[in-house]
């Protein structure tokens, strides 16, 4: 039988605040274990939490960026469960009155994935399994965490990954999180069920916990689909449960809990959060242009190809550099080819810590547009700029790459190159047209790249045809 997948995602995103949600401990990744802790985040008796205002504002901005309604009054709740990474034996979260209600994410296909809500909660500590022992690092405990809950509108692993990529791009661009899955600041729980194609009734779902890469999300969905399909084909019943994924298979962790199992009740130590229309308007005004909007503008206004526009708009600092550095096709080409080859990782492109300002790229492009610097030579100059941070014109002058205005004796340069490369000439006359590139390269070298590429190719082909 053919089955339709029904997928809902619970996406956990750590917020990039300086301190934790209820105390002044640093919310910083990668420090020595159990150094960013205090009696509040360790759950000592008698301590009182104090809510981090920045975390609330970041969550509201996240909600606004995906079209949520912002609750004028929201409250914190206690979610009770006992596990070593949660020293209080409860997690302060939101169930009954979350900050953000509704919302939507539109996929490239035009399909709209509805969101149920976004709530704010504290992260748990981290369990480290080594040499048969379990160690606990509480540095992460109490870090502000958003949970973005989708409706069960996704129908494939591809859609699930695209949805997550869109969320990651939005949250990075508005500056509320770095969403580095390799560091755990973005994680995902996948709820998946199967039903016969054409059926309306939802199947029984399983939840796959703590997936920390897009590859893992895709693989876990494929694996769980096969598992549930085999059960249904065999006449069995899928059990509602929580499962883990080890990279190859999913395995049962525990029966799926419901809200009653967590014994939720209102958090007595934190007052409700009241947001006025003025608060929401202020936070809305602080939002930057969103990636999809910027991408569409690059395509419509600048004539950038959809593929290039998507890459440029993906990283906020790259987009700002691009626009300040000329905001045209030449700038796009230099960034996406030359600069991206040097600044190659996701983290590096997010930080975009290049050794020269955008104005320097604009000056380089001005040299190209004025005819003083050939495009091939511009690549050489940009490579040196990325190494040293020097100005384009200074580099071009030193390397002898600037046009002096003197005419190039192209015919003489071509004749010299032909005489020096008889093998390439023979190959070309034998029908191997790519052999002309050897002649072109020799001329470019002798003229220090000052010959115009299109004009040179035509002249070389005419000379070889004789």
**124 and 90 assigned to the same domain:** yes
- Both 267 and 346 in a single domain? no
227 and 294 assigned to the same domain: no
Same domain (yes/no): 147, 238: yes
The answer to the question of residue 369 being in a domain is: yes
- Quote the CA–CA distance of 381 and 389 in Å, as a whole number: 11
Do 30 and 146 reside in the same domain of the chain? yes
In 3-state terms, what secondary structure has residue 249?
Answer: coil
Q: What is the CATH number of the domain that holds 425?
A: 1.10.10.410
Which parts of the chain have pLDDT scores under 50? 405-407
| Angle at which helices 410-420 and 436-446 cross, to 10° | 120
For residue 358, what are the domain limits? 288-398
φ, ψ of residue 111 in degrees (nearest 5): -70, 135
| Residue 405 domain-assigned (yes or no) | no
Residues 359 and 251 in one domain: no
Give the pLDDT of residue 168: 96
Cα within 13 Å of Cα(166), Cβ side: 20
Using CA atoms, how far apart are residues 356 and 361, in angstroms rounded to an integer? 8
Tens-place pLDDT, residues 413-426: 788 788 888 887 77
Residues 358 and 304 in one domain: yes
Q: Of 131, 156, 195, 171, nearest to 2 (Cα)?
A: 195
CB 69 within 8 A of CB 178: no
Amino acid 434: pLDDT: 82
Distance separating alpha carbons of residues 244 and 252, to the nearest angstrom? 6
Out of 282, 306, 334, a domain closes at 282
- Domain assignment present for residue 403? The answer is no
What is the reported pLDDT for 405?
Answer: 47
Q: Verify that 274 and 189 share a domain, yes or no.
A: yes
Assess whether 348 and 386 both reside in one domain. Answer: yes
* Together in a domain, 331 and 184: no
43 in a structural domain: yes
Could you tell me if residue 404 is inside a domain?
Answer: no
47 and 132 fall within a common domain: yes
CB 139 within 8 A of CB 125: yes
Residue 136 lies in a domain: yes
Question: Taking the alpha carbons of 257, 259, 260, 261 in that order, is the dihedral positive or negative?
Answer: positive
Q: Are residues 339 and 269 in the same domain?
A: no
Domain-ending residue, one of 233, 259, 282: 282
Overall domain count for the chain: 3
Domain boundary among 398, 425, 445: 398
Whether 139 is in a domain gets the answer yes
Q: What is the pTM of this model?
A: 0.85
pLDDT in tens, 420-460: 888 877 777 777 778 778 878 887 777 766 666 666 777 77
Residue 422 lies in a domain: yes
């Amino acid at each position: 039988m053919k089955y339709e997948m029904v997928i809902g995602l619970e996406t956990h995103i750590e917020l990039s605040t300086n301190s934790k949600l209820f105390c002044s401990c640093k919310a910083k990744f990668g420090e020595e274990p159990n150094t960013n802790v205090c009696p509040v985040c360790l759950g000592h008796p008698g301590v009182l939490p104090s809510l981090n205002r920045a975390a609330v504002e970041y969550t509201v901005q996240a909600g606004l960026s995906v079209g949520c309604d912002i609750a004028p009054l929201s409250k914190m709740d206690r979610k009770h469960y006992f596990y070593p990474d949660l020293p209080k034996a409860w997690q302060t979260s939101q169930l009954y009155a979350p900050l953000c209600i509704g919302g939507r994410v539109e996929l490239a296909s035009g399909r709209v994935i509805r969101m149920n809500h976004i709530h704010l909660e504290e992260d748990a500590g981290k369990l480290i399994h080594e040499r048969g022992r379990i160690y606990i690092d509480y540095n992460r405990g109490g870090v502000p965490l958003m949970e973005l809950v989708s409706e069960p509108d996704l129908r494939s692993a591809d859609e699930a990954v695209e949805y997550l990529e869109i969320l990651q791009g939005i949250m990075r661009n508005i500056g509320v999180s770095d969403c580095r899955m390799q560091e755990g600041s973005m994680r995902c729980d996948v709820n998946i069920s199967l039903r016969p194609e054409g059926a309306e009734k939802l199947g029984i779902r399983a939840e796959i916990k703590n997936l920390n890469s897009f590859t893992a999300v895709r693989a876990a969905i494929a694996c769980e689909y096969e598992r549930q399909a085999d059960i249904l084909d065999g006449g069995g019943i899928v059990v509602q449960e929580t499962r883990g994924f080890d990279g190859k298979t999913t395995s049962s962790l525990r029966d799926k809990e419901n809200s009653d199992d967590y014994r939720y009740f209102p958090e007595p130590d934190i007052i409700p959060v009241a947001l006025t229309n003025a608060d929401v308007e202020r936070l809305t005004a602080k939002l930057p242009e969103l990636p999809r909007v910027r991408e569409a503008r690059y395509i419509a206004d600048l004539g950038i190809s959809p593929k290039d526009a998507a890459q440029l708009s993906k990283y906020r600092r790259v987009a700002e550099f691009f626009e300040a550095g000329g905001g045209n096709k030449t700038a796009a080409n230099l960034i996406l080819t030359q600069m991206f080859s040097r600044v190659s990782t996701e983290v590096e492109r997010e930080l975009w810590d290049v050794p020269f300002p955008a104005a320097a790229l604009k000056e380089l492009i001005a040299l190209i547009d004025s005819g003083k610097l050939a495009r091939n030579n511009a690549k050489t100059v940009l490579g040196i700029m990325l190494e040293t941070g020097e100005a384009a014109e200074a580099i071009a002058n030193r390397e002898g790459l600037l046009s002096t205005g003197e005419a190039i004796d192209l015919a003489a340069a071509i004749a010299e190159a032909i005489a020096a490369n008889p093998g390439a000439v023979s190959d070309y006359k034998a029908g191997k047209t790519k052999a002309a590139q050897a002649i072109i390269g020799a001329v470019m070298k002798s003229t220090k790249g000052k010959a115009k590429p299109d004009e040179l190719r035509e002249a070389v082909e005419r000379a070889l045809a004789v």
